[in-house]
Amino acid sequence: MRMKRIEISGFKSFADRTEFELGEGLTAVVGPNGSGKSNLAEAVKWVLGEQSARLLRGTRMDDVIFCGTAKRKGVGLAEVTLVFDNSDQRLPIDLSEVAITRRVYRSGDAEYFINRKACRLKDIAELFLDTGIGKESYSFVGQGRIEEILSADPRNRRVIFEEAIGISRYKLRKKETEARLGDTAGNLRRIQDIAWELETQLEPLAGEAERAKHYLQLTDTRDSCERELLLYEVGPR
């Protein structure tokens, strides 16, 4: 899957709205130290859901917002959009281009969009499952990462291969389903407890119901006796 375009506005050193068209084939970003190459890579990671301010070389998430320079005031929000070519429908969206956007305000409020429609971060993560694209996936290989992959313990290395062969989506669903099953089992246990509690009340209640029935029968008999007595007393002498 090819990323066609990156649109950045107010993110780190990109104060003005900037668009990067990524052509077919190799795209390299070159520039002197401090010109913003890493900021660009971080912008991509950020849209894909990076939640750690530290990994974005900041202390708080709003540190990604352009904070101003000696000559220029800071801005109020940062926004980055990644546009992917989806002509092969690799992403389950019936459009030839898919744009995902993340926005953060100085207040800390965050927003995510898929094709300009508000969504949750989870929706973006799910959209890219098994595509190799994601904040942790193998589409980003940073400095020192190859070494890290080669020397990782088998369990961590397995995660990378699972993403590559496309089973992460199913593993995630399995985990979610297991969590839901766990919740349902908990609910069932609570219902069983309530049913048991109600059953213990059933026997005394049945006795009380029997007594109430008997009382009604007796009241009925008493009423009809009283009626007959009254008739007898006022009847012809």
Contact positions vs ligand ATP (CB under 6 A): 12-13, 31, 33-39, 63, 65-67
Under 8 Å between Cβ of 8 and 60: no
The minimum distance between CB 55 and ligand ATP, in angstroms, equals 13
Q: Looking at beta carbons only, is 110 or 212 nearer to ligand ATP?
A: 110
Question: Nearer to ligand ATP by C-beta: 13 or 115?
Answer: 13
Q: How far is the CB of 103 from ligand ATP (least distance, A)?
A: 15
| Among 110, 14, 8, 7, residue whose Cα is nearest residue 67 | 14
Query: CA–CA separation, 226 vs 217, rounded Å?
Result: 14
Shortest distance, position 128 Cβ to ligand ATP, whole Å: 24
Please report the beta strands in 95-165, taking only residues with DSSP state E, as ranges in sequence order.
97-105, 110-114, 117-119
Nearest residue to ligand ATP, using CB? 38
Q: Which DSSP string corresponds to 36-105?
A: SHHHHHHHHHHHTT---TGGGTSSSGGGGB---BTTB---SEEEEEEEEE-TT--SSSSSSEEEEEEEEE
Structure tokens belonging to residue 137: 């996936």
Cβ closest to ligand ATP, residue 36 vs residue 134: 36
| Beta carbon of residue 147, minimum distance to ligand ATP (angstroms, whole number) | 18
Q: Which is nearer to ligand ATP, 106 or 158 (CB)?
A: 106
**Least CB distance to ligand ATP at residue 34 (A):** 5
Tokens at 231, concatenated? 């008739």
48 vs 91 by CB, closer to ligand ATP: 48
